[in-house]
Structure 1
Amino acid sequence: MKKSSKKIISIPGMSAKTALAIGSLTLLLTACGGGKADMNNNAEVKHTSSSTAESNETVFLPDDLPNFLLKGYYKEMHAHFSQPLKDEVSETELAETAKEFTKDIQTLNKASDMQLNGFDRRTWVSDTGNKGLIGMFDPDGTISLIQIQELTSSPETDSTLSKREYALPFEGDWFVFWGGENVLVNYHYEVEIQRYAYDFIQANENYSYKGDQLKNKSYYAFGKNILAPADGTIVSIVNDIKDNEPVGVMNPNQATGNNVVIDHGGEYSHLAHLQKGSITVKPGDKVKKGDIIGLTGNSGNTSEPHLHFQISDGVDLFNSRSIPVRWENGLNPIQGETITATE
């Protein structure tokens, strides 16, 4: 979800655009949107270019990207750019930007690794903690995007977890599309009202759908039980907003879609984008942890079926602060992980 003119956007997809941040370290591409690619994600992720060495080849794998930047292998890196990216960014521009970006950086440490719907997206954070790197790769290892970004943190709130422990609000295995404490792994992070929110989907063999990607029923998450994450009282519900179809057509005028808000004693869980007519509770109802409250949908400003979940310090999502979740069993969901709900 993302705040925009007092509205929430939750878009768990990726744009297929290519871009490189030239000059200032600003965000040129937010990795979200309705676009999907139908590519074979099982291809070997390896690419070679003519360089020097005994074999006259330099092998490049996606996880090599930070080292190529730090060691100044700009020519070799540029050789692994996709043609659209080569057309947009010259080797000289790459070198100038990379030198500025890597100044004062000793290491770039992996933050997330996500292969989904034909995309391979990986992120790294500098040892200084104030710079981030995103790389996106085609199935053959070709670099289709490089994005560099300044990072900010909120240490005073990052470490202040919710007073209560919360269970995962679903059953079985789910994939963390957005989750973590920087904008590389969680695009919610830049906005205080949703800084510690999550977007959860389901995936099988690195795809969130099977069949017609324009139909909600093709998505593994659609229609799955959503559960109360802890005991509480239902504060509000919305249950009459139609699910977006074809998938990818969004509803910004009713941005949260069908949703449930639960009071857990001064902390409030917000569960959004539920399926129309699926909500089984009403305001004033008492719920226990694990009670079914509705089904995953695709309602509101969302590009595919998923669950948006967060804990806030108020009922009104737009006038509250998001709170870092104290998950049961010490769970700490991060983008790209598959997490399993236990009974």
Structure 2
Amino acid sequence: MSKNKYILPFKGEWYIEFGGVTKKTSHSWDIISQRYAYDFEIRKEDKPYFGDYHECNNFYSYKQEIICPCDGVVVDLVNEYDDTRIVDGRKAICDCKDVRGNYILIKHEHNEYSLICHVLLNSFKCRIGDFLCAGDVIVLVGNSGNTMGPHIHYQVQAGYDFSTARGLPIKFKNYKITNKKIQRKYLSCGMYVKTC
């Protein structure tokens, strides 16, 4: 469990497409760094896009602001990949060398790191070495890397290295679950949530 408490990395109401703290709800249970990761997207009438899903601009999440979830320092970022092409069935053709695509890594107290992936090329509002406060706008939602549609991939990990760091269940604060029919102790897939 994270020692720090984190706010959601967005403003407004978003849907949890993947993520949770159990094997059943996990984003990627067998990948240790992503075990407790979340994928957030905006939905309207229970759909993440309108019109043709091949177009990133038709996704409600695309180019939305991502905010810093906890005070910390930017220790790594990649800003080199165009958006991944979406093909039939919302499958992706990832031409990136790195599944994360463009990403930002923020170091917090207690050796915890926030990793936010698949962000939009050339949309960073910060650079390596910058100190960020919770709530600062840091980048925009994109579709770079191994992704089937624009969304926020967010995880907290106990260490710098993406391939070896252990993922942590995230203690979120200042949020509200907006679909009351789902009652769970922790945030998990199927919930609509927003920052209070």
Q: Percent of counterpart pairs with the same letter?
A: 34
- Contact 1:181–1:189 (Cα < 8 Å) also in 2: no
Aligned Cα root-mean-square deviation (Å):
1.5
Distance 2:123 2:35 in 1: 27
Give, in angstroms, the shift of residue 330 of structure 1.
7.5
TM-fit CA distance, 1:184? 2.6
SS in 2 for 1:217: helix
- Cα distance in structure 2, aligned partners of 1:239 and 1:306: 17
Amino acid at match of 1:339: V
Alpha-carbon shift at residue 211 of structure 1 (Å): 1.2
Find the counterpart in structure 2 of residue 294 from structure 1.
139
For the pair shown, the structure with the greater C-alpha radius of gyration is: 1
**Per-residue CA shift, 1:286-305, capped at 9, x if unaligned?**
11111111001100011111
Number of residue-to-residue matches in the alignment: 182
Of 71, 76, 81, which residue of structure 2 is paired with 1:236? 76
Q: Do the aligned residues in 1 keep the contact of 2:28 with 2:35 (CA within 8 Å)?
A: yes
Distance (whole Å) between structure 1 residues aligned to residue 54 and residue 175 of structure 2:
37
**Where does the alignment leave 5 or more consecutive residues of structure 1 unmatched?**
1-160
Instruction: State the 4+ residue runs in structure 1 displaced beyond 3 angstroms.
Output: none
**Cα pair 1:275 1:299 within 8 Å, conserved:** yes
- Partner in structure 2 of residue 316 of structure 1: 161
Q: 1:320-340 CA deviation, whole Å, 9 max, x = no partner? A: 000111111487311111001
Q: Deviations over 1:151-189 (max 9, x none)?
A: xxxxxxxxxx21110000001010001121233322412
- Aligned counterpart, 1:204: 44
| 1:33-112 correspondence runs (5 A) | none
Assess if the C-alpha contact under 8 Å between 2:83 and 2:143 holds in 1.
yes
TM-aligned CA deviation for residue 249 of structure 1: 2.8
CA distance 1:187–1:311, change in 2 (3 Å)? closer
Structure 1 residue 264 corresponds to structure 2 residue 108: yes
User: CA-to-partner distance for each residue in 1:236-264, whole Å, 9 max, x for gaps?
Assistant: 11112100124533316321011000011
TM-score for both structures, normalised by structure 2: 0.88
TM-score, with length taken from structure 1: 0.51
Shift of 1:208: 0.5
**Cα distance in structure 1, aligned partners of 2:127 and 2:170:** 24
Greater relative contact order (Cα < 8 A, sep 6+): 2
Instruction: Give the alignment partner of residue 92 of structure 2, picking from 242, 246, 249.
Output: 249
Structure number with the higher strand fraction is 2
